[in-house]
Structure formats: C-alpha cells, structure tokens
Structure 1
Amino acid sequence: MKLSIERSDLLKAVSQAQSVVERRNTIPILANVLIEAEGDTVQFRATDLDIEVVDKAPAQVERAGATTVSALVLHEIVRKLPDGALVKLTEDGASGRITVEAGRSHFSLATLPREDFPVMASSEYTANFTVPAPVLRRLFDKSKFAISTEETRYYLNGVYMHVADGEEGRVLRCVATDGHRLARIDADLPPGAETMPGVIVPRKTVGELRKLLDDDDMQIAVSVSETKVRFATPDITLTSKVIDGTFPDYTRVIPTGNTRRLEVDAGDFAKAVDRVATVSSERSRAVKMALDTDRLVLSVNAPDSGAAEEELAVAYSDERLEIGFNAKYLLEIASQVDRENAVFLFNSAGDPTLMRESNDTSAVYVVMPMRV
C-alpha cells in the first residue's frame, strides 16, 4: 500500500476513528485502525466491537492495499505535523511496518495483519430514512444530559429513539431518564421511519454521533434494525449495537395534572440558580424555590458553609408554593431552553415538575423534587 493524503483530511479521518478505540484493550488489534486504500480514496475503520466507524478521505493511491496501525499513535503523529503538509503512507508487507512521511519528518510504525481486524457483521435494517443534521442534533443534544450512568440499570444508559404519537400525529421521539429527571424531545416523522423498531442508542454512540452533526446542510441517512443502528454521511458511517433491554414506560412519569404555572426568563433563572448554589454542599446541592404572586425566591441554606438568596420577577398567579430541587438538575434542564422563557408546571412540593420552552410541547422535561 502506498498513498499520499492532505494532512487536514488525514487528521479529520483519524480523529473520528481513534475516539472510538478503547484506551485499555485486552485484544491488541482493537487498538488499531484499519487503513484500506483503493482507487482515489482511503478508508479508516475503527471498532470497539460495539461501535464501528468508517471514515473515507480523498487520497492519491499509488498502490492499493490494507493494513492496521495503532490509532492513537497515528493520530498523535498527524496532529503534530504542520498544517498543509502532504503525508505519505507506505506499507511494506515484508517488514510488517508502515512509514509515515511529511516534509523532513519520518516515522516507522508496527502493524498487525488486516485479516485479524474484526469487521462488524452487516445487518438487515428494517427502516431506512433521512434526517437533516440539525433535527438529529436537537433530538440527541436536548435528551442526552438525562442518560443514566448507573450500570446496574443498563437499559437507561442510552437514548430511546422510537416512533410515538405526538399531539399532532406521529413523531420521531428521543427519551432519556435516570429516574431523577427525564427529557422527551419530538421531531417530525421522516418518510420511511414509520416501521422503525424502538431502539436504545448507547451513551458512547450518542457522543460519537454528535461529531457527525455539525454541518447544518448535511442530510444523515439513518438505518435501524432490532439490534443495530447506523448513521451515515457521504464520508462517515457510524454503526452501533443497540442496548439489549426494554426501556421503561416513561409516559407514566410525565405529569398531566400540573396546573400551577411559572414562567421565567430561562437565562436569568439559570444564572440565579448557579449563583445561589455556590454556597451549598456539593453532596446535595439543594435549591429551594419559594413562589408567590409574580415573585420567585431562590435560596440555599448550607449549615457548613453559609446561606444565599436571590429574588426574580416572574409570571406566577397561583397559590404560594415552596419546593426544592437538585441544583445540578435544574441547571441542566434550564440550559436546554433555546427560547427566552421557560415554563414550569407544578402540582405540589412532593410531585414531579414539568418544564418546557414557552408553549412548545415538542421538548418536555420532568424533574423530581427534593426535600429541603
């Protein structure tokens, strides 16, 4: 194998590949990236056996071929090469090494045989559809903060992507919860998604997918089966196993009878919560919200370190209410609001609270209260 490639193209491709690779591996080949050169493109493939990413880049291929090399080492080398460099990759099958050359820099790296590299078995996808990148980005960005990190409840360690009944017909929906807070985000149902099985997309996959979604003009091809999900752009294909488990019936925890309505400027609210939470003990981070007519008082009382209080002008006309929340959860939910105002709907101090952006019901959040 012998090829030349622009440093920027190589860095982009190798960055995506090396982020999938696990740092600590018992199987040496999994630390490597598979480089396949043919025609006028070179393909970089990396896997951790649960996720596989394939990134294509344009290259001048003098001699077609394939080999595997340490993803981390190759990434570090390319990252440190000067901008605009032309990088030459040459594999010598006899020595079992690959040389990386750019200007006066010359590296010789050990390789492992391509035959040992595990390629993820292709799946029969039951649904194939296309989603604009900004739509997919919104679905996952606004839900991922609520993914559980508790390994025992593995079925909550991802985002549940499925087709559901919205207020105005069928929608593509993403839901995440950790038992303390919940995010439910809806988007218009793309043609072809109607037959999609509901799948739980793992946390790591959600993180890798985010890197594909920065270009607002990009269309993402999505393929879903019972066991796998695939997201593809013209250059990058990300395939992942889905979490083998049943996502709980989240509709039961979304309150429908909350009538006490608070409307507040989302930015001011988030900053005020952040300020008063500064004095609270890290362990509980409890913030008390005291609501009265058009007035909200946020307070923290931490016996070890002190107390804080801040008042906000709000729209609220129901009876007086005092309710406490984990400051971190309040901040994370408030930071999801793109519009100016956030609307909180309360029932009582012990019941789950609903939050949404103004009158938009396509993004709904639920947070459990704390005793304060």
Structure 2
Amino acid sequence: MQFSIIKENILPLIQHANNFTSSKGINTILENILIETEEEEIQLKASNTHMGFSAKIKANIEETGITTVSCKKLHDIIKELPNAAVIDFKYDGSKLKLTSGKSKFTLSTIEPEFFPTMTPITPEYRIKMKSESLEKLLQKTTFCISNDPSKTEYTGAHFKVFGNKLEIGAADFQRIATAETEFDEEFSDEFTINIPKKTAIEISKLLDLDDDVEIETDKKQVQFQIDNIVVYSKLIEKFIKNIGSLFKTNYPISAKIPTRQFEEVVRRISTITSEVSRGIVLSFNENALNVFSLETEYGQGNEIIDGVKLEGESIDIIFNSKLLLEIINHIDSEFFTIKMIGRKNPAIIVPENGKYQYLLVAISIDRY
C-alpha cells in the first residue's frame, strides 16, 4: 500500500476517527484505525464495538492495500507536521512508514482481519434532513443526558419520529429537555430510538451545516451518513416512558424574563451558594423578581430584576443554580417564560422563539 495526501485533507478525519477508538486497553486493535486504499481514494475506519466511523477521501494512490495502525499516534504525528505538508504513506507488509519533508516515522501495525466490523443495517426506517436542523436539536438537548450507567434509559437521546416531526428528548433525574423540527412530508411509520450520549455528541461534531444527513435504523443499530462520512452505533434498548408528558400539565403561574439579564444575575448570586445544593431562590411578585441565595456559612446575596410581569399568584421557588444556568446558556431568544405550579413542583422553561423546552425539578426545602 502506498499513497500521498495533504495534511489538511486527512487530519480532520483522523481527529474524528480517534473519538471512536477505545483507549481502555482491553483490546489493542480497538485503538487502531483501519486504512484501506482503493483505485482513487482511501477508506478510514475506527470502531470500539459500540459505535463505528467510516470515511472516504480522494488521494494520490500508487499501490492498493490495507492495514491498521494506532489512531492516536497517527493523529499526533500528522497534527505536528507543518501546514500544507504532503505526507507519503507506505506499508511494506509489516510497518507503516510516513515521510514528509525531512520527517520520517515508522509505525507498528496489526493485521486487519482482527479489526471489528459493525453488523450491516437492513433499514426499517429512514429519514433525511438538514444537518443544521439536527445540529440545533442535539445542541439544545444532549447536555441534559444522564451520565449514570445504572439507569441506561437515561443515558441516551430519544429520537421520536411521528407525523411530519422529529422530536429529540433527553433527561437526567433533575431535568428534561425536548426539541422538535418539522419536515415537508409526513412519515407513514412512527418510531422511537434511544441513541447513546457518546454517539449523539460525536454526530453533532460531524454535522456540516451545508449538508444533508441521512438516518437509517433497524431498531437495534442506527446509521448516520453525512457526505463522505458514515457513523454506526448500537442503540439503547430501554426508553424513558412518556418523556414529554409533564410538559402537558397545566401550569397556572408564569413569568416572562429577559434571558441574558437573568443569566448575569444568577451567575452573580450563585458565587455565594453552597457547593452542595447550589440553591438559589426565585421570588416572584407582581412587578419584580428577587433572586437570592440560601444563607450559607459564607453569607447571602440577592439582586432584583424589575419589570418581570407575573401571571398568577406570588411564589418563591428554589433551584440548583448550576443546573438552571446550563439551561439558560442554551436559550438564544431575548426572553423566556417560566411556568410553575407550586414551590415544590417542577417548573417549565420555554424560550420565546424556539420549538424546544425544559423541565427543571425544584429543590424542596420547607424553611430558608
């Protein structure tokens, strides 16, 4: 195998591929990237058995062949080469040799027959959408996915296709996020799949806003195709039941709040909160919102936001400031509305201009 390619053409793909390898040392081949040359292009593959990456790219091919090599080491070498460097790759049946200018490297290889392959998908369901739309849905939701492996249904992004809509839902044990987009056509078959958090995050990194993305699934695996890149992933078998049902509850109390001003106030007041609860109180009255911290050994802080119009009765409600700020950071509208039932009930946060919303559990404290 022998070929040459410019650094900038191959480095981004190897960077992405490196995120699909395993670094746990269980199986060395899982740390490798497979490189295969065909007549006019190279195919790159990486897999950790749970998800896989494949990409094709044009190159100057002198001799076809196939091998696997450490993805991280290959990435580190190419990254440090000068910009616009031409890199010559040559595999002699044992070692992979890289030459660029006066730089020369020799890398150990592993035979490709040991490289894992994902089971081919026979798609039962297929959708095609704008990458920009999918990127926005993932950006608004995936930060709410739980990292707790004991509840596997909470460790993924729920993709639900119904009618002419795609809704993505995510939740941990204190927050729920949902976001949806509409298609020009209706889909005859409804389906829901739960995509692992790691896969969802890597997909969001790959999305080119100018391209379409094709999504295919057989309910056991899912495949995303973006231009010359294909990502495969196993699916989570369990689901969170009725993930969006709490959004349909009647919330009799609401207030419209300026987003960036609120964010700044919460950041300031959170500096004096407890490291454990991070509790802050939102005290709503008819014309103002008073934001203050729970009293701690460090002291207390408060700040008033004037002109916040309240609909319904006055209410004090306590939230974890860290979780609240993470939600507010993902709101890009000038205002948002918070909807409440009571001070111990979850609240709904709805941005002004988007088809996404959040539920945040209140901290239940009787005295403060």
Measured against the shorter chain, the TM-score band is over 0.9
Between 221-230 and 65-74, report the one with greater CA deviation.
Answer: 221-230
Alignment partner of 1:304 is 2:297: yes
- Cα offset, 1:146, TM superposition: 1.1
Is the Cα contact below 8 Å between 1:13 and 1:56 reproduced in 2? no
- Cα offset, 1:90, TM superposition: 0.3
* CA distance in structure 1 between the partners assigned to 2:258 and 2:91 by the alignment: 59
Between 101-110 and 304-313, report the one with greater CA deviation.
Answer: 304-313
| Number of matched pairs | 364
Is the Cα contact below 8 Å between 2:178 and 2:244 reproduced in 1? no
1:39 partner SS: coil
Matching residue of 2:182:
188
Match of 1:346 among 329, 340, 345: 340
Distance change in 2, residues 1:150/1:24 (3 Å): same
Give the alignment of 1:17-36 within 5 angstroms: 17-36=17-36
Alignment partner of 1:251 is 2:244: yes
* CA distance in structure 1 between the partners assigned to 2:114 and 2:185 by the alignment: 39
- Cα offset, 1:115, TM superposition: 0.9
2:191 partner SS: coil
Give deviations 1:105-149, integer Å, cap 9, x for gaps.
000000000111111110111112211011001111111111011
Is the Cα contact below 8 Å between 2:158 and 2:239 reproduced in 1? no
Is the Cα contact below 8 Å between 2:91 and 2:97 reproduced in 1? yes
- Cα offset, 1:158, TM superposition: 0.7
1:198 partner SS: strand
Is the Cα contact below 8 Å between 1:23 and 1:31 reproduced in 2? yes
- Cα offset, 1:196, TM superposition: 5.1
2:297 partner SS: coil
Query: Identity over aligned residues, as a percent?
Result: 26
* CA distance in structure 1 between the partners assigned to 2:137 and 2:217 by the alignment: 16
* CA distance in structure 1 between the partners assigned to 2:295 and 2:135 by the alignment: 38
* CA distance in structure 2 between the partners assigned to 1:208 and 1:25 by the alignment: 21
Distance change in 2, residues 1:4/1:359 (3 Å): closer
Matching residue of 1:62:
62
* CA distance in structure 2 between the partners assigned to 1:365 and 1:198 by the alignment: 20
Alignment partner of 1:266 is 2:259: yes
1:155 partner SS: helix
Give the alignment of 1:5-84 within 5 angstroms: 5-84=5-84
* CA distance in structure 1 between the partners assigned to 2:125 and 2:318 by the alignment: 43
2:233 partner SS: strand
* CA distance in structure 2 between the partners assigned to 1:23 and 1:312 by the alignment: 49
1:143 partner SS: helix
Distance change in 2, residues 1:84/1:50 (3 Å): same
Give the alignment of 1:323-338 within 5 angstroms: 323-338=317-332
Give the alignment of 1:125-274 within 5 angstroms: 125-164=123-162, 170-189=164-183, 191=185, 193-195=187-189, 197-213=191-207, 215-274=208-267
Match of 1:364 among 316, 335, 357: 357
- Cα offset, 1:301, TM superposition: 2.7
Matching residue of 1:109:
107
Give deviations 1:293-312, integer Å, cap 9, x for gaps.
12001101342212111111
* CA distance in structure 2 between the partners assigned to 1:200 and 1:355 by the alignment: 24
Is the Cα contact below 8 Å between 2:157 and 2:168 reproduced in 1? yes
- Cα offset, 1:153, TM superposition: 0.5
Q: Which runs of 5+ in 2 are unaligned?
A: none
* CA distance in structure 2 between the partners assigned to 1:116 and 1:192 by the alignment: 43
2:159 partner SS: strand
* CA distance in structure 1 between the partners assigned to 2:252 and 2:71 by the alignment: 55
Alignment partner of 1:121 is 2:83: no
* CA distance in structure 1 between the partners assigned to 2:6 and 2:68 by the alignment: 19
Give deviations 1:228-266, integer Å, cap 9, x for gaps.
111111221111111121322223332521021110111
TM-score under structure 2 normalisation? 0.95
Alignment partner of 1:275 is 2:268: yes
* CA distance in structure 2 between the partners assigned to 1:226 and 1:29 by the alignment: 28
> Aligned-residue CA RMSD in angstroms?
1.5
Matching residue of 2:4:
4
Distance change in 2, residues 1:356/1:194 (3 Å): farther
Is the Cα contact below 8 Å between 1:255 and 1:353 reproduced in 2? no
Q: Counterpart of 1:50 in structure 2: which amino acid?
A: H
Alignment partner of 1:319 is 2:317: no
Is the Cα contact below 8 Å between 1:200 and 1:247 reproduced in 2? no
Distance change in 2, residues 1:194/1:104 (3 Å): farther
Distance change in 2, residues 1:114/1:186 (3 Å): same
TM-score under structure 1 normalisation? 0.94
